[in-house]
Amino acid sequence: MFGGWPQIVGPQLAAHTRPESFDDGELLVSADSPAWATQVRLLTPQLIARLAEELGADTVRRVKVRGPSGPARRANRDT
């Protein structure tokens, strides 16, 4: 799945996401923006079905999506 990610998910999704880890049926996918993270979450059922076609049924049972990490937000204390 790691080497064939673009072929599995398509070039557009692969350009903005990548598989990070796979453990005990759970695939961790990172996205380069919050919008793409949301898109992957919405596509999770289709993604699991596609991965089942490529890797076998029940290989990937869950997909966890992580968006980009950025600087911590601070509350505006000037108001």
Enter the pTM of the model. Answer: 0.79
Q: What is the mean pLDDT of each run of 10 residues along the chain (79 residues)?
A: 83 93 94 93 93 90 86 52
Q: What is the pLDDT of residue 70?
A: 55
Are residues 18 and 5 in contact, defined by beta-carbon separation less than 8 angstroms? yes
* Inter-CA distances, 22 with 2, 29, 36, 37, 69, Å: 9, 9, 20, 17, 20
Asked whether residue 2 is assigned to any structural domain, the reply reads: no
C-alpha span between 58 and 77 (Å, rounded): 49
Asked whether residue 24 is assigned to any structural domain, the reply reads: yes
Q: Which domain holds residue 38?
A: 16-66
| Amino acid, single-letter form, for residue 47 | L
C-alpha span between 17 and 22 (Å, rounded): 15
Q: How many domains does the chain have?
A: 1
